[in-house]
Amino acid sequence: MILPPYLLYIGKVADPLSVKTSRGIAVWRPELCLGQFRTTDDAIDLGLEDIGFEEAAARGARTLVLGIANAGGVIAPEMVEHVVQALRAGLDIASGLHQRLSSNPEISAVAQELGRTLWDVREPPADLKVGKGVRRAGKRLLTVGTDCSVGKMYTTLALEREMRARGINADFRATGQTGILIAGSGMPIDAVVADFISGAVEQLSPAREDGGWDLIEGQGSLFHPSFAGVSLGLLHGSQPDAVVLCHEAGRVRMRGMAVHTVPDLALCLERNLEAARLTNPDVIPVGIALNTASLTPEAAKRACAEAEDLLGLPCQDPVAMGVDRIIDRFGACFAL
């Protein structure tokens, strides 16, 4: 478990897309964020206090979080210097970067010398096992999607927030690097060895006896030619009792694909349910999360109403409308 409070590293990054992960942490876990570290006023401002490494450590920060995208996949010399300063100030480091912290000799040596922990959240655990497929205790919800990048992480976090607000015991289970940094732990499912996909999910969301729900972040899509294997293993390992289908209104082509079009919602849901029944025959759909960012508010309402009529499930945009009606249905189905 990555220890909070966090100091979020921005450095000199001025491109909003490159701080997506740090922003996610600031939005979803503000109570864990002590401040941000920036080297220039032109850098992105997440609305947190600007704090240096020494002061952050003195005020109780435990971990510097590198929630930024690094050009070229390599840790720049300036960032290495900052990481070493943070280690010396007393902080652990958590990173969602492609290049592993532990692969940098200087960072690795200083961390070892000082006994600090380096968290490379894209690095899967070494002790994974193949999936057992045996039904396990506890309740699980999985978000599934028509495509990559349609809002599965956001939706899962929104469901957690709404359930907790209603006093329902529920925990977000992260499967991607941004989600893992938000949650403080998780499983980088697309980085595990292929044989262990479903087993890794069984480890992420083990048998649960407290009556609470695991809300598992989906990845990819059964209809994505590059990543469907990950999505299927994730579906089987999750053994979901409930699924929420995520889609982006107006998207025509599958992400990164020249030819493949986004599947029909009804077909996509049916294929997910068919496959999910292999490990949980009782799976049911409880709602649709529609990303309507590209629509006017009026068009967004119409698109949700159409999807509701089509599938007979509550449909909301978690960003613009919340997820209360999805949780109403979910609660009714499971007597929560």
What is the contact surface with a copy of itself in residues (CB under 8 A)?
130-135, 189-195, 197-199, 222-234, 236, 254, 257-260, 271, 274-275, 278-279
Q: Nearest distance from residue 190's CB to a copy of itself, in Å?
A: 4
Would you say 104 or 279 has its CB closer to a copy of itself? Answer: 279
Q: 9 or 227: whose CB is closer to a copy of itself?
A: 227
Among candidate residues 168, 142, 145, the one with its CA nearest the CA of residue 156: 142
Nearer to a copy of itself, 154 or 223 (CB): 223
Least CB distance to a copy of itself at residue 188 (A): 9
Quote the least distance from Cβ 270 to a copy of itself, whole Å.
Answer: 11
- Cα–Cα distances (Å) from 236 to 220, 230, 244, 265, in that order, read 14, 10, 15, 20
* Cβ-Cβ contacts under 8 Å for 263 (sequence gap 6 or more): 146, 221, 223, 271
CB of 61 to a copy of itself, least distance (A): 33
Q: What is the nearest approach in angstroms of a copy of itself to the Cβ of residue 164?
A: 30
Backbone angles phi, psi at 148, to 5 degrees: -70, 160
Identify which of residues 110 and 200 has a Cβ nearer to a copy of itself in the complex.
200
For the bound state, the minimum distance from the C-beta of residue 27 to a copy of itself, rounded and expressed in Å, comes to 26
Please tell me the distance from the alpha carbon of residue 109 to that of residue 215, in angstroms, as a whole number.
Answer: 37
The answer to whether 94 and 119 are in contact (CB under 8 A) is yes
Least distance in Å: CB of 192 to a copy of itself?
5
For the bound state, the minimum distance from the C-beta of residue 124 to a copy of itself, rounded and expressed in Å, comes to 9
Cα(154)–Cα(245) distance, integer angstroms? 13
Nearer Cβ to a copy of itself, position 25 or 144? 144
At 284, phi and psi to the nearest 5? -135, 155
Can you tell me which residue has the tokens 């899962």?
A: 156
Question: What does 304-334 look like in DSSP terms, one character per residue?
Answer: HHHHHHHHTS-EE-TTTT-SHHHHHHHHHHT
- DSSP output for 46-71: -SSPB--HHHHHHTT--EEEE-S--G
Give least dist CB 197 to a copy of itself, A. Answer: 4
Nearest to 157 by CA among 323, 284, 316: 323
20 or 271: CB nearest a copy of itself: 271
Q: Kindly tell me which of 12 and 253 has the beta carbon lying closer to a copy of itself.
A: 253
**Which of 317, 156, 324 is CA-nearest to residue 249?**
317
| Of residues 260 and 301, the one with the C-beta less far from a copy of itself | 260
Nearer to a copy of itself, 67 or 131 (CB): 131
**In 217-236, which positions are buried (b, 16+ CB within 10 angstroms) versus exposed (e)?**
bbbbbbbbeebeebbbbbbb
